[in-house]
């Protein structure tokens, strides 16, 4: 075996070991995650052990000139239902996944930090920035967003609940 081959094999062994270590959060040292600047150490725990079993929706409403609130308006991230077409071509999944990542990050950050610090986190600002650029009501100067958790096609009358709600933010 050549020297190159030996180095490559060692690299692969270390890589697989890092992958194994990265599978379970409590095993994985934080320095390992921090070193993974290229995103090459994968996580293979798909939908488990704690799967997301609800839908997240992003809604916003505007604060009108008289101080009252507008209706909640849903941001459409995923326009179509899954089916044959989306089995081949599904660009919307990126947006939906990105939003889900932001919500997960916010929940996690909220668990670890004081809530008032959340407004300077990237996921919060990303969502607010995104909402700011959506169409807004006539004469509205400020807005507010909400993340709602919804049980999908469940018929349970209690299938929705508010997961998080922002404060009021100026549009300009």
Q: Does 4 help bind other proteins (rule: CB under 8 A)?
A: yes
- Two tokens, residue 72: 């909640």
Structure tokens at 98: 């990105």
Rounded Cα distance between 121 and 118, Å, is 5
- Contact between 154 and other proteins (CB under 8 A)? yes
Minimum CB separation of residue 42 from other proteins in Å reads 4
Indicate whether 14 belongs to the interface with other proteins (CB under 8 A). Answer: no
Q: Which of 14, 18, 21, 133 binds other proteins (CB under 8 A)?
A: 133
Could you say whether residue 79 binds other proteins (CB under 8 A)?
no
56 contacts 147 by C-beta, under 8 angstroms: yes
- Taking the complex as a whole, the smallest distance from the CB of residue 101 to other proteins amounts, in Å, to 5
171 contributes a contact to other proteins by CB under 8 A? yes
Alpha-helical (H) ranges within the chain are 3-22, 30-35, 84-88, 92-112, 122-132
Identify any residues that bridge with 143 across adjacent strands, giving them in sequence order.
Answer: 62, 169
What is the rounded distance in angstroms from the CA atom of residue 42 to the CA atom of residue 71?
Answer: 42
57 binds other proteins (CB under 8 A): yes
Nearest distance, CB of residue 73 and other proteins, angstroms: 5
Q: How far is the CB of 140 from other proteins (least distance, A)?
A: 8
Q: Which burial class, exposed, middle or buried, applies to 47 when counting CB atoms under 10 A from its CB (0-12, 13-18, 19+)?
A: exposed
Angle at CA of residue 102, ends 163 and 74, nearest 5°: 60
Question: Pattern 96-115, binding to other proteins, x per CB under 8 A?
Answer: xxxxxxx-xxxxxxxxxxxx
Q: How far is the CB of 145 from other proteins (least distance, A)?
A: 11
Does 135 bind other proteins (CB under 8 A)? Our answer is: yes
């Amino acid at each position: 075996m050549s020297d190159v081959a030996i180095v490559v094999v060692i690299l692969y062994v270390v890589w697989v070991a890092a992958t194994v270590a990265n599978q379970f959060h409590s095993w994985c040292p934080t320095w390992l995650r921090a070193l993974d600047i290229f995103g090459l150490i994968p996580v293979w725990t798909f939908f488990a052990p704690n799967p997301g079993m609800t839908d997240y929706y992003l809604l916003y409403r505007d604060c009108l000139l008289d101080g009252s609130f507008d209706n909640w308006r849903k941001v459409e991230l995923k326009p179509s239902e899954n089916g044959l077409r989306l089995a081949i071509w599904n660009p919307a999944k990126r947006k939906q996944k990105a939003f889900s990542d932001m919500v997960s990050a916010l929940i996690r950050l909220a668990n670890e930090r004081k809530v008032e610090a959340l407004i300077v986190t990237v996921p919060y600002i990303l969502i607010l920035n995104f909402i700011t650029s959506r169409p807004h009501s006539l004469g509205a100067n400020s807005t507010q967003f909400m993340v709602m958790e919804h049980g999908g096609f469940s018929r349970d009358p209690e299938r929705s609940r508010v997961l998080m709600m922002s404060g009021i933010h100026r549009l300009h």
